[in-house]
Structure 1
Protein backbone atom coordinates (compact mmCIF):
# COMPACT_ATOMS: atom_id res chain seq x y z
CA UNK A 1 0.00 0.00 0.00
CA UNK A 2 1.42 3.39 -1.02
CA UNK A 3 1.71 6.38 1.30
CA UNK A 4 -1.04 8.13 -0.67
CA UNK A 5 -3.37 5.14 -0.26
CA UNK A 6 -2.69 4.98 3.49
CA UNK A 7 -3.49 8.68 3.79
CA UNK A 8 -6.75 8.20 1.88
CA UNK A 9 -7.77 5.28 4.09
CA UNK A 10 -6.97 7.32 7.20
CA UNK A 11 -8.97 10.34 6.02
CA UNK A 12 -11.99 8.36 4.82
CA UNK A 13 -11.97 6.03 7.81
CA UNK A 14 -11.68 8.87 10.34
CA UNK A 15 -14.49 10.90 8.78
CA UNK A 16 -16.77 7.87 8.48
CA UNK A 17 -16.07 7.01 12.13
CA UNK A 18 -16.94 10.58 13.13
CA UNK A 19 -20.17 10.25 11.15
CA UNK A 20 -21.12 6.90 12.65
CA UNK A 21 -22.78 7.83 15.96
CA UNK A 22 -24.76 10.84 14.62
CA UNK A 23 -25.86 8.73 11.64
CA UNK A 24 -27.04 5.92 13.91
CA UNK A 25 -28.83 8.41 16.16
CA UNK A 26 -30.48 9.96 13.11
CA UNK A 27 -31.62 6.59 11.77
CA UNK A 28 -33.08 5.72 15.18
CA UNK A 29 -34.90 9.07 15.28
CA UNK A 30 -36.15 8.50 11.74
CA UNK A 31 -37.51 5.08 12.73
CA UNK A 32 -39.17 6.51 15.85
CA UNK A 33 -40.93 9.26 13.94
CA UNK A 34 -42.04 6.96 11.12
CA UNK A 35 -43.38 4.29 13.48
CA UNK A 36 -44.61 6.54 16.29
CA UNK A 37 -42.46 4.76 18.89
CA UNK A 38 -40.43 6.49 21.61
CA UNK A 39 -42.77 9.45 22.07
CA UNK A 40 -41.84 11.65 25.06
CA UNK A 41 -42.52 15.21 26.20
CA UNK A 42 -38.95 16.14 25.24
CA UNK A 43 -39.22 14.91 21.62
CA UNK A 44 -42.92 15.52 20.94
CA UNK A 45 -41.99 18.37 18.58
CA UNK A 46 -40.60 15.78 16.13
CA UNK A 47 -43.87 13.85 16.07
CA UNK A 48 -46.02 16.98 15.86
CA UNK A 49 -44.08 18.36 12.88
CA UNK A 50 -41.91 15.57 11.42
CA UNK A 51 -40.99 16.92 7.96
CA UNK A 52 -38.22 19.36 9.08
CA UNK A 53 -36.43 16.84 11.29
CA UNK A 54 -36.71 14.04 8.72
CA UNK A 55 -35.32 16.39 6.07
CA UNK A 56 -32.46 17.32 8.39
CA UNK A 57 -31.64 13.69 9.18
CA UNK A 58 -31.67 12.68 5.51
CA UNK A 59 -29.44 15.57 4.43
CA UNK A 60 -26.96 15.25 7.31
CA UNK A 61 -26.45 11.50 6.82
CA UNK A 62 -25.73 11.88 3.10
CA UNK A 63 -23.62 15.01 3.65
CA UNK A 64 -21.38 13.34 6.23
CA UNK A 65 -20.92 10.04 4.34
CA UNK A 66 -20.39 11.53 0.87
CA UNK A 67 -18.09 14.20 2.27
CA UNK A 68 -15.78 11.58 3.76
CA UNK A 69 -14.75 10.56 0.22
CA UNK A 70 -14.44 14.10 -1.14
CA UNK A 71 -11.42 15.08 0.91
CA UNK A 72 -9.13 12.10 0.25
CA UNK A 73 -6.74 13.44 -2.44
CA UNK A 74 -5.75 10.10 -3.96
CA UNK A 75 -9.33 8.84 -4.13
CA UNK A 76 -10.47 12.17 -5.59
CA UNK A 77 -7.89 12.12 -8.38
CA UNK A 78 -8.62 8.50 -9.21
CA UNK A 79 -12.39 9.06 -9.33
CA UNK A 80 -12.59 12.63 -10.65
CA UNK A 81 -15.93 12.15 -12.45
CA UNK A 82 -17.48 10.64 -9.34
CA UNK A 83 -16.05 13.53 -7.31
CA UNK A 84 -17.71 16.10 -9.57
CA UNK A 85 -21.10 14.39 -9.69
CA UNK A 86 -21.27 13.56 -5.98
CA UNK A 87 -19.92 17.02 -5.20
CA UNK A 88 -22.99 18.64 -6.76
CA UNK A 89 -25.23 16.42 -4.64
CA UNK A 90 -23.06 17.23 -1.61
CA UNK A 91 -23.64 20.95 -2.11
CA UNK A 92 -27.39 20.34 -2.32
CA UNK A 93 -27.65 18.20 0.82
CA UNK A 94 -25.24 20.50 2.65
CA UNK A 95 -27.41 23.53 1.97
CA UNK A 96 -30.53 21.57 2.93
CA UNK A 97 -28.79 20.44 6.13
CA UNK A 98 -27.87 24.00 7.09
CA UNK A 99 -31.29 25.47 6.27
CA UNK A 100 -33.24 22.66 7.94
CA UNK A 101 -31.02 23.05 11.00
CA UNK A 102 -31.92 26.75 11.11
CA UNK A 103 -35.59 25.84 10.73
CA UNK A 104 -35.39 23.44 13.67
CA UNK A 105 -33.77 26.17 15.76
CA UNK A 106 -36.19 28.95 14.85
CA UNK A 107 -39.50 27.10 14.63
CA UNK A 108 -39.39 24.11 16.98
CA UNK A 109 -40.14 24.74 20.67
CA UNK A 110 -37.08 25.15 22.89
CA UNK A 111 -35.81 21.92 24.43
CA UNK A 112 -35.93 22.05 28.27
CA UNK A 113 -32.29 20.94 28.57
CA UNK A 114 -31.01 23.71 26.27
CA UNK A 115 -29.54 26.80 27.89
CA UNK A 116 -30.00 30.35 26.67
CA UNK A 117 -26.73 30.39 24.69
CA UNK A 118 -27.39 27.38 22.49
CA UNK A 119 -30.08 29.11 20.42
CA UNK A 120 -27.62 31.79 19.31
CA UNK A 121 -24.82 29.27 18.78
CA UNK A 122 -27.01 27.18 16.50
CA UNK A 123 -28.02 30.23 14.48
CA UNK A 124 -24.37 31.22 13.96
CA UNK A 125 -23.40 27.64 13.05
CA UNK A 126 -26.26 27.18 10.58
CA UNK A 127 -25.63 30.51 8.85
CA UNK A 128 -21.87 29.91 8.71
CA UNK A 129 -22.32 26.43 7.22
CA UNK A 130 -24.64 27.81 4.54
CA UNK A 131 -22.19 30.61 3.71
CA UNK A 132 -19.23 28.19 3.48
CA UNK A 133 -21.00 25.82 1.10
CA UNK A 134 -22.43 28.63 -1.02
CA UNK A 135 -19.05 30.38 -1.32
CA UNK A 136 -17.38 27.05 -2.10
CA UNK A 137 -19.90 26.46 -4.88
CA UNK A 138 -19.27 29.93 -6.34
CA UNK A 139 -15.52 29.31 -6.40
CA UNK A 140 -15.89 26.01 -8.28
CA UNK A 141 -18.00 27.82 -10.88
CA UNK A 142 -15.07 30.21 -11.26
CA UNK A 143 -12.70 27.20 -11.55
CA UNK A 144 -10.82 28.32 -8.45
CA UNK A 145 -10.14 24.82 -7.11
CA UNK A 146 -8.02 25.93 -4.15
CA UNK A 147 -10.56 28.38 -2.74
CA UNK A 148 -13.37 25.92 -3.46
CA UNK A 149 -11.56 23.25 -1.44
CA UNK A 150 -10.95 25.62 1.48
CA UNK A 151 -14.56 26.68 1.81
CA UNK A 152 -15.93 23.16 1.42
CA UNK A 153 -13.57 21.99 4.16
CA UNK A 154 -15.01 24.70 6.40
CA UNK A 155 -18.59 23.78 5.54
CA UNK A 156 -18.01 20.06 6.04
CA UNK A 157 -16.22 20.61 9.35
CA UNK A 158 -19.17 22.55 10.75
CA UNK A 159 -21.60 19.98 9.42
CA UNK A 160 -19.69 17.28 11.31
CA UNK A 161 -20.10 19.06 14.63
CA UNK A 162 -22.50 16.40 15.95
CA UNK A 163 -19.76 13.77 15.66
CA UNK A 164 -17.30 15.83 17.70
CA UNK A 165 -19.99 16.64 20.26
CA UNK A 166 -20.07 12.96 21.20
CA UNK A 167 -16.51 13.41 22.51
CA UNK A 168 -17.07 16.81 24.14
CA UNK A 169 -19.94 15.25 26.12
CA UNK A 170 -17.98 12.12 27.05
CA UNK A 171 -16.21 13.54 30.16
CA UNK A 172 -19.58 14.66 31.55
CA UNK A 173 -21.12 11.22 31.02
CA UNK A 174 -18.15 9.52 32.69
CA UNK A 175 -17.63 11.90 35.63
CA UNK A 176 -21.08 13.36 36.33
CA UNK A 177 -23.49 10.97 34.61
CA UNK A 178 -26.87 11.71 33.10
CA UNK A 179 -27.72 14.25 30.44
CA UNK A 180 -26.29 17.77 30.88
CA UNK A 181 -28.56 20.80 30.74
CA UNK A 182 -28.29 24.56 30.77
CA UNK A 183 -24.87 26.20 30.46
CA UNK A 184 -22.83 22.94 30.62
CA UNK A 185 -24.81 21.53 27.68
CA UNK A 186 -24.46 24.77 25.74
CA UNK A 187 -20.69 24.79 26.27
CA UNK A 188 -20.23 21.15 25.28
CA UNK A 189 -22.37 21.56 22.17
CA UNK A 190 -20.56 24.75 21.20
CA UNK A 191 -17.18 23.13 21.85
CA UNK A 192 -17.89 20.47 19.23
CA UNK A 193 -18.43 23.06 16.52
CA UNK A 194 -15.55 25.25 17.73
CA UNK A 195 -13.06 22.35 17.68
CA UNK A 196 -14.08 21.49 14.12
CA UNK A 197 -13.84 25.14 13.08
CA UNK A 198 -10.29 25.43 14.46
CA UNK A 199 -9.26 22.09 12.94
CA UNK A 200 -10.57 23.14 9.52
CA UNK A 201 -8.58 26.38 9.64
CA UNK A 202 -5.46 24.42 10.64
CA UNK A 203 -5.93 22.03 7.71
CA UNK A 204 -6.39 24.94 5.28
CA UNK A 205 -3.26 26.71 6.49
CA UNK A 206 -1.31 23.46 6.35
CA UNK A 207 -2.38 22.99 2.72
CA UNK A 208 -1.20 26.52 1.92
CA UNK A 209 2.18 26.16 3.61
Structure 2
Protein backbone atom coordinates (compact mmCIF):
# COMPACT_ATOMS: atom_id res chain seq x y z
CA UNK A 1 0.00 0.00 0.00
CA UNK A 2 1.35 3.42 -0.96
CA UNK A 3 1.51 5.85 1.97
CA UNK A 4 1.58 9.42 0.83
CA UNK A 5 3.92 11.14 3.29
CA UNK A 6 6.83 10.39 5.58
CA UNK A 7 4.65 11.50 8.50
CA UNK A 8 2.15 8.78 7.63
CA UNK A 9 4.89 6.17 7.49
CA UNK A 10 6.33 7.33 10.82
CA UNK A 11 2.95 7.30 12.59
CA UNK A 12 1.84 3.93 11.22
CA UNK A 13 5.26 2.35 11.75
CA UNK A 14 5.51 3.58 15.35
CA UNK A 15 2.04 2.34 16.27
CA UNK A 16 2.59 -1.02 14.59
CA UNK A 17 5.92 -1.37 16.40
CA UNK A 18 4.21 -0.73 19.73
CA UNK A 19 1.57 -3.33 18.85
CA UNK A 20 4.06 -5.98 17.72
CA UNK A 21 5.14 -7.65 20.98
CA UNK A 22 1.63 -7.91 22.54
CA UNK A 23 0.26 -9.20 19.23
CA UNK A 24 2.88 -11.93 19.01
CA UNK A 25 2.36 -12.85 22.67
CA UNK A 26 -1.39 -13.02 22.09
CA UNK A 27 -1.04 -15.28 19.06
CA UNK A 28 1.25 -17.58 21.06
CA UNK A 29 -1.37 -17.70 23.82
CA UNK A 30 -4.12 -18.66 21.36
CA UNK A 31 -1.89 -21.37 19.86
CA UNK A 32 -1.26 -22.77 23.34
CA UNK A 33 -4.96 -22.85 24.11
CA UNK A 34 -5.81 -24.45 20.78
CA UNK A 35 -3.07 -27.09 21.01
CA UNK A 36 -3.21 -27.68 24.76
CA UNK A 37 0.50 -26.94 25.11
CA UNK A 38 2.29 -24.71 27.60
CA UNK A 39 -0.04 -25.50 30.48
CA UNK A 40 1.19 -24.15 33.83
CA UNK A 41 -0.30 -23.33 37.20
CA UNK A 42 0.01 -19.62 36.34
CA UNK A 43 -2.02 -19.84 33.11
CA UNK A 44 -4.45 -22.55 34.28
CA UNK A 45 -7.23 -19.97 34.41
CA UNK A 46 -7.01 -19.45 30.63
CA UNK A 47 -7.39 -23.18 29.93
CA UNK A 48 -10.28 -23.45 32.37
CA UNK A 49 -12.18 -20.58 30.74
CA UNK A 50 -10.63 -19.59 27.39
CA UNK A 51 -13.47 -17.51 25.93
CA UNK A 52 -12.71 -14.13 27.56
CA UNK A 53 -8.97 -14.25 26.85
CA UNK A 54 -9.48 -15.36 23.22
CA UNK A 55 -12.00 -12.57 22.64
CA UNK A 56 -9.65 -10.06 24.26
CA UNK A 57 -6.60 -11.11 22.25
CA UNK A 58 -8.51 -11.11 18.96
CA UNK A 59 -10.16 -7.75 19.61
CA UNK A 60 -6.94 -6.07 20.74
CA UNK A 61 -5.06 -7.47 17.73
CA UNK A 62 -7.49 -6.02 15.18
CA UNK A 63 -7.97 -2.78 17.12
CA UNK A 64 -4.26 -2.06 17.53
CA UNK A 65 -3.02 -3.21 14.10
CA UNK A 66 -5.72 -1.75 11.87
CA UNK A 67 -6.28 1.21 14.16
CA UNK A 68 -2.76 2.43 13.37
CA UNK A 69 -3.86 3.38 9.85
CA UNK A 70 -6.70 5.57 11.15
CA UNK A 71 -4.22 8.05 12.65
CA UNK A 72 -2.16 8.72 9.51
CA UNK A 73 -3.44 12.15 8.35
CA UNK A 74 -2.61 11.99 4.64
CA UNK A 75 -3.77 8.40 4.30
CA UNK A 76 -7.00 9.25 6.13
CA UNK A 77 -7.65 12.31 3.96
CA UNK A 78 -6.86 10.45 0.75
CA UNK A 79 -9.13 7.52 1.63
CA UNK A 80 -12.03 8.97 3.68
CA UNK A 81 -14.37 6.15 2.63
CA UNK A 82 -12.06 3.47 4.04
CA UNK A 83 -11.50 5.56 7.15
CA UNK A 84 -15.24 5.57 7.83
CA UNK A 85 -15.76 1.88 7.02
CA UNK A 86 -12.80 0.63 9.02
CA UNK A 87 -13.67 3.09 11.78
CA UNK A 88 -17.01 1.38 12.38
CA UNK A 89 -15.34 -2.01 12.67
CA UNK A 90 -12.68 -0.58 14.96
CA UNK A 91 -15.29 0.94 17.26
CA UNK A 92 -16.69 -2.57 17.65
CA UNK A 93 -13.27 -4.13 18.28
CA UNK A 94 -12.29 -1.32 20.65
CA UNK A 95 -15.44 -1.75 22.72
CA UNK A 96 -14.95 -5.53 22.67
CA UNK A 97 -11.34 -5.03 23.82
CA UNK A 98 -12.44 -2.93 26.78
CA UNK A 99 -15.36 -5.17 27.78
CA UNK A 100 -13.32 -8.38 27.49
CA UNK A 101 -10.52 -6.73 29.48
CA UNK A 102 -12.99 -5.91 32.25
CA UNK A 103 -14.33 -9.47 31.99
CA UNK A 104 -10.82 -10.86 32.45
CA UNK A 105 -10.30 -8.67 35.49
CA UNK A 106 -13.58 -9.58 37.16
CA UNK A 107 -13.91 -13.26 36.20
CA UNK A 108 -10.41 -14.66 36.49
CA UNK A 109 -8.74 -15.31 39.86
CA UNK A 110 -5.95 -12.88 40.66
CA UNK A 111 -2.45 -14.19 39.97
CA UNK A 112 0.12 -14.11 42.76
CA UNK A 113 2.25 -11.42 41.10
CA UNK A 114 -0.61 -8.89 41.00
CA UNK A 115 -0.84 -6.43 43.84
CA UNK A 116 -3.98 -4.88 45.32
CA UNK A 117 -3.79 -1.75 43.17
CA UNK A 118 -3.71 -3.43 39.77
CA UNK A 119 -7.31 -4.67 39.98
CA UNK A 120 -8.56 -1.12 40.46
CA UNK A 121 -6.26 0.26 37.77
CA UNK A 122 -7.55 -2.25 35.24
CA UNK A 123 -11.17 -1.41 36.06
CA UNK A 124 -10.50 2.33 35.68
CA UNK A 125 -8.66 2.06 32.35
CA UNK A 126 -11.26 -0.38 30.97
CA UNK A 127 -14.14 1.95 31.80
CA UNK A 128 -12.17 4.96 30.54
CA UNK A 129 -11.47 3.22 27.22
CA UNK A 130 -15.17 2.46 26.80
CA UNK A 131 -16.03 6.08 27.57
CA UNK A 132 -13.44 7.46 25.12
CA UNK A 133 -14.49 5.24 22.22
CA UNK A 134 -18.18 5.85 22.88
CA UNK A 135 -17.70 9.60 22.99
CA UNK A 136 -15.49 9.51 19.90
CA UNK A 137 -18.21 7.66 17.98
CA UNK A 138 -20.82 10.13 19.22
CA UNK A 139 -18.83 13.09 17.90
CA UNK A 140 -18.31 11.31 14.56
CA UNK A 141 -22.10 10.98 14.19
CA UNK A 142 -22.43 14.68 14.98
CA UNK A 143 -19.67 15.44 12.42
CA UNK A 144 -17.58 17.16 15.08
CA UNK A 145 -14.49 15.54 13.66
CA UNK A 146 -11.82 17.28 15.72
CA UNK A 147 -13.47 16.17 18.97
CA UNK A 148 -13.99 12.76 17.41
CA UNK A 149 -10.26 12.52 16.69
CA UNK A 150 -9.30 13.63 20.20
CA UNK A 151 -11.40 10.99 21.94
CA UNK A 152 -10.41 8.22 19.56
CA UNK A 153 -6.74 9.03 20.24
CA UNK A 154 -7.39 8.71 23.97
CA UNK A 155 -9.17 5.37 23.52
CA UNK A 156 -6.46 4.00 21.23
CA UNK A 157 -3.77 5.06 23.70
CA UNK A 158 -5.39 2.83 26.32
CA UNK A 159 -5.60 -0.01 23.81
CA UNK A 160 -1.82 0.16 23.23
CA UNK A 161 -1.05 -0.02 26.95
CA UNK A 162 0.33 -3.56 26.72
CA UNK A 163 2.92 -2.43 24.16
CA UNK A 164 4.24 0.32 26.42
CA UNK A 165 4.22 -2.02 29.43
CA UNK A 166 6.87 -4.09 27.67
CA UNK A 167 9.19 -1.07 27.95
CA UNK A 168 8.18 -0.04 31.47
CA UNK A 169 9.15 -3.55 32.63
CA UNK A 170 12.53 -3.56 30.86
CA UNK A 171 14.47 -1.63 33.56
CA UNK A 172 13.21 -4.08 36.19
CA UNK A 173 14.25 -7.10 34.12
CA UNK A 174 17.70 -5.61 33.48
CA UNK A 175 18.45 -4.21 36.95
CA UNK A 176 16.55 -6.47 39.33
CA UNK A 177 15.82 -9.57 37.25
CA UNK A 178 12.85 -11.88 37.44
CA UNK A 179 9.16 -11.05 37.31
CA UNK A 180 8.04 -8.08 39.44
CA UNK A 181 5.22 -8.71 41.89
CA UNK A 182 3.04 -6.73 44.25
CA UNK A 183 3.33 -2.95 44.23
CA UNK A 184 6.29 -2.84 41.78
CA UNK A 185 4.27 -4.79 39.20
CA UNK A 186 1.21 -2.63 39.80
CA UNK A 187 3.25 0.53 39.25
CA UNK A 188 5.01 -0.78 36.15
CA UNK A 189 1.72 -1.91 34.61
CA UNK A 190 0.01 1.35 35.50
CA UNK A 191 2.95 3.33 34.10
CA UNK A 192 2.34 1.84 30.65
CA UNK A 193 -1.20 3.21 30.50
CA UNK A 194 -0.20 6.51 32.12
CA UNK A 195 2.60 7.14 29.62
CA UNK A 196 0.24 6.50 26.73
CA UNK A 197 -2.43 8.78 28.18
CA UNK A 198 0.07 11.58 28.74
CA UNK A 199 1.43 11.20 25.22
CA UNK A 200 -2.10 11.27 23.81
CA UNK A 201 -2.82 14.52 25.63
CA UNK A 202 0.49 15.96 24.39
CA UNK A 203 -0.45 15.13 20.79
CA UNK A 204 -3.94 16.57 21.21
CA UNK A 205 -2.83 19.81 22.88
CA UNK A 206 0.67 20.48 21.54
CA UNK A 207 0.81 18.77 18.14
CA UNK A 208 -2.47 19.56 16.36
CA UNK A 209 -0.65 19.32 13.00
CA UNK A 210 -0.36 15.55 13.60
CA UNK A 211 -4.15 15.34 13.44
CA UNK A 212 -4.54 17.14 10.11
The two structures have a TM-score, normalised by structure 1, of 0.97
RMSD of equivalent CA atoms: 1.0
Match of 2:19 in 1: 19
User: CA offsets, 1:48-95, max 9 Å, x none?
Assistant: 000000000000000000111000001111111111100000000000
User: CA offsets, 1:165-207, max 9 Å, x none?
Assistant: 0000000011111111111100000000000000001111024
Match of 2:169 in 1: 169
Measured in 2, the distance between the counterparts of 1:130 and 1:94 equals 8
Alignment of 1:73-152 (within 5 A): 73-152=73-152
1:47 is the counterpart of 2:40: no
The two structures have a TM-score, normalised by structure 2, of 0.95
1:62 is the counterpart of 2:62: yes
Measured in 2, the distance between the counterparts of 1:10 and 1:189 equals 26
User: CA offsets, 1:130-174, max 9 Å, x none?
Assistant: 000000000101111000000000000011000000000000011
Alignment of 1:182-193 (within 5 A): 182-193=182-193
- Structure 1 gaps of 5+ residues are none
- Structure 2 gaps of 5+ residues are none
**1:208 Cα deviation from its structure 2 partner:** 4.8
Measured in 1, the distance between the counterparts of 2:206 and 2:139 equals 20
